[in-house]
Amino acid sequence: AQKVTQAQTEISVVEKEDVTLDCVYETRDTTYYLFWYKQPPSGELVFLIRRNSFDEQNEISGRYSWNFQKSTSSFNFTITASQVVDSAVYFCALSETTSGTYKYIFGTGTRLKVLA
Amino acid sequence: DTGVSQNPRHKITKRGQNVTFRCDPISEHNRLYWYRQTLGQGPEFLTYFQNEAQLEKSRLLSDRFSAERPKGSFSTLEIQRTEQGDSAMYLCASSPPSLAGVDTDTQYFGPGTRLTVL
């Protein structure tokens, strides 16, 4: 069965601290896609990054970076020098490809609170 | 280019009433998804359309739920005889067709419709 686990329910950090959000996934597919989305209080899910199973290169985008390790089935997300505007719920998602629908399986999310 | 829109944004109804939500995907996105999100949880897949065809439905989609996408454009999700357990955020997402150089698997979400059943 496909599953995404975000063990951290809530994290609080002080502004300018670095923070890492963990994501562990399970799948039998050899081809799959992993995503991170941000959900601010307004409720809309904002796309952050997509990674396919064949590309294990880490990625950096401004203060955001992602570490994908197939050996440990993890796709972790780090925010460097956090800011109050980073406060939100962050979801990791796995897209299953077998049926061709590419529907997402989401984790339960990690609520990040950045304190000024 | 506008994003995915959903209406209404909020709906309060009494148990037993029928409700209908609308989703307008990003233009030219032929794939459309409905998800449901309850408090403190991640979104859960409900159903998937490719153009006007409904190709997959989750077991979560009971007989009281029906979704349509006439002409492959906007979609509606109807819940009949609402129950308190239907209270949730209903999210719609769309993604582009499979074309060279296009990530068809990346879904873009609307703001959601928050349903409260009293």
Residues of chain B with C-beta less than 8 angstroms from the C-beta of A103: 33, 45, 48, 56
The CA distance from A94 to A98, in Å, is: 12
Rg of chain B in Å (alpha carbons): 14
Minimum distance, in Å, between the CA of residue B80 and any CA atom of chain A: 25
> A14 or B61: which carries more pLDDT confidence?
A14
Minimum distance, in Å, between the CA of residue A43 and any CA atom of chain B: 6
Across A92-103, b (16+ Cβ under 10 Å) vs e yields: bbbbbbeeebbb
Q: Is the pLDDT of residue B97 over 80?
A: yes
pLDDT in tens, B19-65: 999 999 999 899 999 999 999 999 999 999 999 999 999 998 889 99
The CA distance from A89 to A37, in Å, is: 8
Task: Flag if A102 and B107 touch (Cβ within 8 Å).
Answer: yes
Q: Is the pLDDT of residue B99 over 80?
A: no
In this prediction, residues B88-109 reach a mean pLDDT of 85
Chain centroid to CA B53: 14
- The percentage of chain B sitting over the pLDDT mark of 70, rounded to a whole number, equals 96
Residues of chain A with C-beta less than 8 angstroms from the C-beta of B56: 99, 101, 103
Q: State the pLDDT confidence band at B1, using cuts at 50, 70 and 90.
A: low
Phi, psi of A95, deg, nearest 5: -100, 120
Q: Which pLDDT score, from 0 to 100, does residue A71 have?
A: 92
pLDDT in tens, B71-87: 889 999 999 999 999 99
Chain centroid to CA B71: 16
CA angle A82, A84, A90 (to 5 degrees): 70
